Structure 1
């Protein structure tokens, strides 16, 4: 098994893309071209990270970081996928959120989810990247039709202590219920959760769960799953999905317990049945 640092090294390279700011409803606010460089130094014992924002009306802005260890709020999977964010949720926090990163071949997808001081989902940044000189195309906008069907997967949960890991099978059934609704049944281990969502364009709203949730369907086959508002005393998850092909999908989940403590991440790799 790779160490957490070795998993980070799977992200090395020069990643060309854009930071796209979206409203909580998925509307475009701003799109900024970017170049992110992750370079191993000192025989890969340290990382030099450059984030360059490219503007049409002014000089580029650079942010340079160097580090040789990982902070407490980040975990990597064996694929190089990662999630970093808040260790705790508190209704008194001025800001709460997380960044997710998924890798497939020469492309990388990152999403930042932020909540405001009222614990409401407030800001979203979609980051679509490919290695410099790569010809790998961006995927189309995710649609409801692409999600429908039976999905079987394998999930690997990594606890925040790095060592408390578990692997298990998953199954999701997603069906349309008329023109404006869909139903979803999720099975993992001995658990089964059934829910329904209202379809509002590129937005799926789950109103009947303990914490009302939404899933935004985004460019590059991405999806963003968050509570509309977090309430103290309820366990919850933040999630990002990536449709890699009509029959392959990845999901990365960051989990919090009823005390608001971050417990770990789960990477789910799924395949569609009978496509």
Structure 2
């Protein structure tokens, strides 16, 4: 737990950005400017979170309306895990019928953060997507371009770290991801991980900024987002089926992070994996 708190502290600072509400197809609906500060108090034993969001004045004139949220933390919940670089994921611990579920992913790199929230309603359908792009104001680091299929094509060599909700020792292993086009409108992927013992192959149809993988027992939709972001969303959260939520961030043309939050067939959250992968061929 001490290490978890130290990892959390990687996120300290004042982050200027926006909360972007997306449709379930990934189209921008509304963008709300925001400032979030994470301040260490009492020799960093307490962290104060202050979030301000600035909505347009309903009258159309005058200052924006400000909503403010303030919280203090001295410990972390059992629904969240942080990696050494400050990346994190918080979400549902136990999936259950007729209950809402979802996850928030947070990436941090080069004085910028990208966070992504995917929420499902009580019927198991995707109901809300929010993309949060943030930067430290005094560092003029530009936003990444919107993610494209072309930017993903090629072979990616990665290192994965899998953490567990019971805080047992993390597992580390190598990964390989190969992505290529088939007939111009299908994306074919082959993922190899863990001493080449496990291979997953699948293909998805490309529909604008969405890629639909409908072949498996749990169909998923991958959305390509602004700032090099992506998310992988189950089309439906079904009970008694293992599922995963995933988000990704292309931070350099040849460097990408992916985070996967996995659940077993009992709906229990079982692991969180961070993959750091570099493109080795186009």
| 2:115 aligns with one of 107, 110, 116 | 110
State the distance in 1 between where 2:219 and 2:126 align: 11
- State how 1:113-262 maps to structure 2 within 5 Å: 113-189=118-194, 190-262=197-269
The match for 1:26 is 26
State the distance in 2 between where 1:8 and 1:133 align: 21
State the distance in 2 between where 1:205 and 1:134 align: 37
CA contact (8 A) 1:158 1:264 kept: yes
CA contact (8 A) 1:158 1:166 kept: yes
The match for 1:40 is 40
Residue 62 in structure 1 maps to residue 83 in structure 2 = no
> How far did residue 246 of structure 1 move?
1.1
SS in 1 for 2:5: helix
> How far did residue 274 of structure 1 move?
2.6
CA contact (8 A) 1:151 1:270 kept: yes
| 2:93 aligns with one of 87, 96, 105 | 87
> How high is the TM-score relative to the length of structure 1?
0.97
CA contact (8 A) 2:156 2:281 kept: no
CA contact (8 A) 1:2 1:78 kept: no
Gaps of 5+ in 2: 58-63
SS in 2 for 1:3: helix
CA contact (8 A) 1:114 1:122 kept: yes
CA contact (8 A) 1:98 1:112 kept: yes
State the distance in 2 between where 1:12 and 1:48 align: 10
State the distance in 1 between where 2:163 and 2:223 align: 25
> How far did residue 2 of structure 1 move?
6.9
SS in 1 for 2:6: helix
SS in 1 for 2:236: coil
Residue 75 in structure 1 maps to residue 81 in structure 2 = yes
1:209-267 per-position Cα deviation (integer Å, ceiling 9, x unaligned): 11000100000000010101011111111010000111110001111111100012101
Gaps of 5+ in 1: none
Residue 5 in structure 1 maps to residue 12 in structure 2 = no
SS in 2 for 1:220: helix
> How far did residue 59 of structure 1 move?
2.6
State the distance in 2 between where 1:31 and 1:77 align: 29
> How far did residue 165 of structure 1 move?
1.2
SS in 1 for 2:7: helix
> How far did residue 164 of structure 1 move?
3.5
State the distance in 2 between where 1:273 and 1:122 align: 37
1:131-169 per-position Cα deviation (integer Å, ceiling 9, x unaligned): 122200000000000111101100000011122310000
State the distance in 2 between where 1:226 and 1:111 align: 11
1:96-136 per-position Cα deviation (integer Å, ceiling 9, x unaligned): 11100000010000000100111011210000000122200
